[in-house]
């Protein structure tokens, strides 16, 4: 066994692609999301991943519940050796940033930034207290929007830019402890979140928006997570890796 990976939002989309890759690499995986365990996508994910996967209902906005989540994972699978901070939401409404409401701003920040920070804080504390064992890593899934401004979804871009800085801060704090901290910036990935813009983005991708000429897949993200989680990138602590088919290069 390579260790225990906690993946927020791991029951679908990018998170499930990451879970598949980590199970394939020998990890036990804990999937955490606010949906109940009887949700269809949760049942489907657990059936696919098999005995190496467990599910935990957790609302990342409730930072006071983080210790109980980690206690539950530890009791069932063992101490978390890899956190994949993947849970995230898009802007509720796309539109003029001058019309953005505090409620919609806070909704995105509480999930994409505040919740992610305080869960990672709890995981890092426990990693520092644990006896020597498998390689330990924190992996933050952000977005190409961390560095590419989009005024019609300002709150999303701000949250991802903040998460990018969060990665750097955790890397500085934990590198000396042998804990790897990494950021992955997905581009246009085929998930339920992007299903509504599938046709529009397909036209733009084939028109040259993405130099690779195709949609990204959750498996593309999972393939990058594995070497980060297993220590193969240990001396690249703090690295931000775009997984976007060249999108961010083309837009610069």
Q: Show the CA angle centred on residue 59, arms to residues 57 and 61, nearest 5°.
A: 165
Calpha distance 247→215 (Å, rounded): 11
Tokens of residue 187, six digits: 């581009």
Catalytic residue check, 135: no
- Catalytic residue selected from 55, 135, 156, 201: 156
- R_g over Cα of the chain: 17
Buried-exposed string 114-128: b where 16+ CB fall within 10 A, e elsewhere: bbbbbbbbbbbebbe
Question: Which three-class secondary structure state does DSSP give residue 140?
Answer: strand
- Kindly report the three-state secondary structure assignment for every residue of 74-135: HHHCCCCCEEEECCCCCCCCCCCHHHCCHHHHHHHHHHHHHHHHHHHHHHHHHHHHCCCCCC
Find out whether 242 and 144 touch, Cβ atoms under 8 Å. yes
Calpha distance 78→60 (Å, rounded): 20
Catalytic residues: 156
């Amino acid at each position: 066994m390579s260790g225990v990976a906690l993946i927020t939002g791991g029951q679908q989309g990018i998170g499930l692609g990451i879970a598949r890759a980590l199970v394939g690499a020998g990890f036990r995986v804990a999937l955490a999301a606010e949906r109940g365990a009887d949700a269809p996508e949760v049942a489907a994910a657990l059936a696919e991943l098999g005995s190496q996967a467990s599910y935990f209902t957790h609302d990342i906005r409730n930072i006071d519940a983080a210790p109980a989540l980690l206690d539950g994972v530890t009791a069932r699978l063992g101490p978390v050796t890899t956190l994949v901070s993947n849970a995230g939401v898009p802007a509720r409404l796309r539109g003029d940033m001058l019309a953005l409401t505090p409620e919609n701003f806070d909704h995105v920040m509480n999930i994409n930034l505040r919740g992610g920070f305080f869960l990672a804080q709890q995981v890092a504390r426990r990693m520092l207290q644990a006896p020597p064992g498998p390689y330990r890593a924190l992996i933050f899934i952000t977005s190409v929007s961390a560095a590419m401004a989009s005024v019609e979804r300002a709150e999303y871009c701000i949250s991802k830019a903040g998460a990018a800085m969060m990665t750097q801060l955790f890397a500085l704090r934990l590198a000396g402890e042998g804990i790897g901290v990494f950021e992955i910036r997905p581009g246009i990935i085929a998930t339920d979140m992007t299903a509504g813009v599938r046709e529009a983005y397909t036209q733009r991708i084939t028109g040259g928006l993405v130099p690779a000429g195709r949609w990204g897949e959750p498996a593309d993200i999972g393939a990058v997570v594995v070497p980060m989680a297993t220590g193969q990138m240990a001396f690249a602590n703090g690295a931000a890796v775009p997984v976007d088919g060249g999108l961010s290069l083309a837009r610069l």
